[in-house]
Amino acid sequence: MDPSAPTTPARRLTAGDNLTTIQSHVLAVEASHPSQAGSLSWILSALSLSAKVIASKIRRARLNDVLGSLDSENVQGERQEKLDVIANETLLRCLGERAGVAIVASEENEEPILLRTNTEGERKFIVLFDPLDGSANLDGCGGVGTIFSILRHDRRAGSPEKAVLQPGVQQVAAGYVLYGPSTVFVLTMGHGVDMFVLDPAIGAFLKVEAGLKIPRASKSYSCNEGNRLTFPDGYQKYLDWAQHNGYSSRYAGAMVADVHRILLKGGVFLYPPTKKAPAGKLRLMYEANPMAMIIEQAGGKAFAGKDRILEIAPEDLHQRTSVVLGSPAEVDQVLAHL
């Protein structure tokens, strides 16, 4: 899909249409695009099952005393929330049972985990994920989410550490789950963006939007302005410009929540470099890349400085990057100030 193509409204599904589960949607996409057929439907089924389990744990977190931090840090040097660990273990367990998964890699684990090797004729995949984005919001009942990226596994790459280091343009699917007033699953398989909502009455994710398109422009931005004085000059000039031109500021403190709002309402999400994190703070492989794929598939743009995020050649699983993504006209405004 050409990210510069004119946008058209997403097709809202009527009650009569609203019988398409995420599993049947994936099977239909695979039938229309045979090159994607294989184990992908089973992997996305595992991800949807994980999302249901995590959503249930979050809803009952205070009742079950699983809110708060542990006396441990992840590989990023960040204090782990109890639900970070629960979400990570849930995803590892569900994905580990799917024969199509060769390698999994998580924000919470230092190295990729090799589950199984390819045999001749089999098509295997790599799944990378941030199990619980924005987990610091949990104590305040704020929005949190899961982000994932799916790549093909090429056994010729050698070690799992080398196999995962693929640029974002090679993703075959990406998505996120937002755990909020409803549990929302947004998915792209490279043929547009679709949105599903968990119906707790039947325990299934049902399609509610087909072919989502991000608005071309919207006078709002999302960034942590507490760090503004440490942003490079270009970002500060953009914020001066935006505030003098009637822009609104919206920031939830969880990438999933902020990007979801921008996908539906328009605007731009900024996570610039800072003096403390000169390369940027967000992780390229399992945060920036999947979100960039979704935004581009919906007609938006996604950059790290002047570089298209999806074209960055990764050097490390936990590589960090700056991020500017959202409505194409709003991203262009930011880039014009850099």
CATH of the domain at 20: 3.30.540.10
Q: Alpha-carbon dihedral of residues 212, 288, 225, 247, nearest 10 degrees?
A: -30
- CATH code of residue 329: 3.40.190.80
Total tally of structural domains belonging to the chain: 2
Which pLDDT score, from 0 to 100, does residue 62 have? 82
Residue bearing tokens 């400085």 = 305
For residues 169 and 98, give the distance between their C-alpha atoms in angstroms, rounded to a whole number.
24
Same-domain status, 17 and 166: yes
Locate all alpha helices (DSSP H) within 212-254, ordered by sequence: 233-244
Same-domain status, 178 and 271: no
6 within a domain of the structure (yes/no):
no
| Torsion 40-42-43-47 (CA) sign | positive
Residue bearing tokens 């639900």 = 83
For residues 214 and 293, give the distance between their C-alpha atoms in angstroms, rounded to a whole number.
13
Same-domain status, 326 and 178: no
Contacts 24+ apart (CB under 8 A), 19-22: 19/206, 20/206, 20/207, 21/196, 21/204, 21/205, 21/206, 21/207, 22/48, 22/185, 22/187, 22/196, 22/204, 22/205, 22/207
For residues 335 and 84, give the distance between their C-alpha atoms in angstroms, rounded to a whole number.
34
Same-domain status, 250 and 194: no
- Name the β-bridge partners of 177: 146, 185
Same-domain status, 52 and 118: yes
* Whole-structure pTM value: 0.91
Tell me which of 168, 184, 210 is where a domain ends. Answer: 210
Same-domain status, 140 and 228: no
Same-domain status, 26 and 155: yes
Per-residue pLDDT of the chain (338 residues; tens, 9 = 90+): 444 444 445 566 554 456 899 999 988 888 887 766 567 889 999 999 999 999 999 998 887 877 767 656 666 666 678 899 999 999 999 999 998 999 999 999 999 999 987 655 566 899 999 999 998 888 888 889 999 999 999 888 889 999 999 999 999 999 999 999 999 999 999 999 999 999 999 999 999 999 999 999 999 999 999 999 999 999 999 999 999 999 999 999 999 999 999 999 999 999 999 999 999 999 999 999 999 999 999 999 999 999 999 999 999 999 999 999 999 999 999 999 99
What is the token pair recorded at 43? 């992997």
Which pLDDT score, from 0 to 100, does residue 128 have? 98
Same-domain status, 156 and 19: yes
294 within a domain of the structure (yes/no):
yes
Tell me which of 159, 185, 210 is where a domain ends. Answer: 210
Same-domain status, 59 and 136: yes
Structural domain containing residue 297:
220-337
Same-domain status, 166 and 235: no
Same-domain status, 54 and 152: yes
Same-domain status, 225 and 129: no
Which pLDDT score, from 0 to 100, does residue 13 have? 58
For residues 260 and 182, give the distance between their C-alpha atoms in angstroms, rounded to a whole number.
13
3 within a domain of the structure (yes/no):
no
Edge-to-edge strand ranges of the sheet holding 323-326: 248-249, 220-222, 268-271, 323-326, 301-304, 307-308
5 within a domain of the structure (yes/no):
no
